[in-house]
Amino acid sequence: MKYLVMVQGTQADYEAMRGRASANSPAWSEEELQAMFAYMGAINDDLSETGEFVDGQGLAEPAQTRHVTLGDDGKAVITDGPYSETKELLAGYWVLECESLERVTEIAERVARCPQPAGAPDYPVVIRPIMDGSGDI
């Protein structure tokens, strides 16, 4: 079964990774940033070796987000980020092919243990089964 495993973040988190602290997130050092990249790279390598890795990407910061909705007149309303009213957004994801929900939960627990600076916010790692083309899970 395929699963989407998602990690979340805010614009403040991306700024913190650039060394700019805020009330919600301490500044990351270069060593902390490299430790995070190495940790996530090791997860990707392990999942590739087991054949469970289908795809995975980190996403650009929320400031580069664009929302497209329809206005009352039916015309597109396009809004560029950042969005101060939005809290956490999708920061990265994996598409995994795992034998069970228990297995993908083990992987998500490993992702949740990613090193970060003391005081950095903790976000849940979200798992969603991917429906097949027939609408079944």
Q: How many independent structural domains does the chain possess?
A: 1
119: alpha, beta or left, given left = phi > 0 and alpha = psi -120 to 50?
left
**Measured in whole angstroms, how far is the alpha carbon of residue 17 from the centre of its chain?**
14
Instruction: Collect all residues with Cβ–Cβ distance below 8 Å to 87 and sequence separation of at least 6.
Output: 10
Q: CATH number, domain at 65?
A: 3.30.70.1060
Dihedral pair phi/psi, residue 62, rounded to 5°? -55, -30
Cα dihedral across residues 110, 114, 119, 122: positive or negative: negative
Residue 105 lies in a domain: yes
Residue 134 lies in a domain: no
The two tokens of residue 84 are 């101060």
Nearest by Cα to 87 from 53, 62, 112, 50 = 62
Residue 137 lies in a domain: no
Query: Residue 42: pLDDT above 90?
Result: yes
The stretch 56-67 carries a mean pLDDT of 91
Q: What is the pLDDT of residues 85-116, one digit of tens each?
A: 567 889 999 999 999 999 999 999 999 999 99
Question: pTM score, two decimals?
Answer: 0.89
Full domain range(s) for residue 7: 2-129
